[in-house]
Chain A
Amino acid sequence: MRRIVRFWIEDRRPTGLAPGKIALGLWMTAVLLAAFLLDARRLGTLGQGARIIFFHIPVAWVTVLAFILSSIHSILYLAKRSRTNDRRAVSAAGLGVVFCLLATLSGSIFARITWGAFWNWDPRETTIFFLLLFYAAYFALRVAVADEEARATLSAAYNVLGLVVVPFLVFVAPRLSALAGLHPEPILNVQGRLDMDPAALGVFLAALVGFTGLFFWAYDLNNRAMDVEERLFEQEVEHGG
């Protein structure tokens, strides 16, 4: 424990980040308050239930961001064989799972509120479900491989295969729904975004920025923790043999 604390202290990061975290905290508090206090009439026909948009969409966006980040690090790992890239890929994927679960749950609640059913296989639901399955498979693979280098290589390769599959999935997802897409177009399509009440739009964009910030903060923390673990491990090995 003492060694871990010593490493944290020695971990020389610019202290400029601390104000950033405080700012992030304040920002998200403001976003949460606004999301719940904003006049429901500004949210269009969906009323109170539409508040979930401020959480569901940013969280879904972060999931996609995490997936892209993880894939980039996987590609870098395959090119450079640097263990750092492997750690980053796992880190992003892990956070991606968390946000994906949140996106699925919030989306499901939203679907129940607006259309009465928890799950309808509409294109976006299908895509988020795919991501959940894919991440689960990714971690299942990592757990099943004992050798470090093999684990890193195989999971990176799987990640890249997933990346190649995604365009096909996005293209094919609409065909999966028996019914027409159930996502409420008036608010969520491109034109629709302009239809959103300005105040609501403001809260929405603020939430988007806030959740993205939240992701990068968690990602950075996770990375630093994993880096420290790695350094501890290296030291142990050097002294152990």
Chain B
Amino acid sequence: MDRLELQGLSKRYGRLRVFQGLTAEVRSGQVLVVAGPNGSGKSTLLRIIAGLTHPTAGQVCLFRDGRLLSPEERRRQTGLVAVDVALYGELTAWENLSFFARVRGLGLSPEEGEALLAGVGLAGRGDDLVQNYSSGMRQRLKYACALLHRPGLLLLDEPGANLDEAGRAIVEAIIARQRQNGLVVLATNDPREVAFGDVVLHLGARP
């Protein structure tokens, strides 16, 4: 993944203007942090970058090997972890991983699955139903699901939410690894996480 460009992004819901004219560029190896108080549109911006929401104006461009990726290709390269995006509670952790792998056209052996779970500190908990997980465990599982297809662009909305110190350490490691060959975009108002950023975008509060 070479770089991500945000060009003149604006988002408006009816009369409510969330943000306007956002422009930024992030290169491979860099972390973009989107900071701002509650309600400033951080989550919305992340969703726009993920392709889940359309901007009112402007565009998102993701480049790989010098070529602009189509929205479909961008979708395949994106991994998202957000507090308000849930996993399937009626399935086990392993079934969630297996599902997301199959739906993306990837195979996932039980060993690979176990390795993924171990990587986020959930070793041996693969057969528990996600609805029985604590919120911290769910957050960790979201990381596992977001990473299984080795995305070039990782989007994290409030990365440390619901996590204890051990969890946060895991997230730091994930960000460090992702940085090496890909891009990371974080949305947060935690100063510790803002410190990760090479490029910081400040969104203002709503008037």
Contact = CB atoms under 8 A, between A and B. Distances in A.
Direct interface between A and B, CB < 8 A: yes
A137 B128 CA distance: 43
B54 A237 contact: no
A241 interface: yes
Interface size grouping (class) on chain A: under 10
Nearest to A153: B54
Given A237-B12, A241-B207, A149 B17 contact: no
Interface in B116-140: none
A237 B13 contact: no
B14 interface: yes
B15 interface: yes
B15 A147 contact: no
Main secondary structure of the interface of A (DSSP, over half): helix
Interface size grouping (class) on chain B: under 10
A240 B54 CA distance: 22
B162 interface: no
B20 interface: yes
A22 B14 CA distance: 39
Contacts of A11: none
Contacts of A10: none
Contacts of A237: 12, 15, 17
B204 to A, nearest CB: 11
Given A241-B17, A241-B207, 11 more contacts: A147-B13, A148-B14, A149-B54, A233-B15, A236-B15, A237-B12, A237-B15, A237-B17, A240-B15, A240-B17, A241-B20
Interface of A: 147-149, 233, 236-237, 240-241
> 4 tightest A-B contacts by CB?
A241-B17, A237-B15, A149-B54, A148-B14
10 contacts: A147-B13, A149-B54, A236-B15, A237-B12, A237-B15, A237-B17, A240-B15, A240-B17, A241-B17, A241-B207
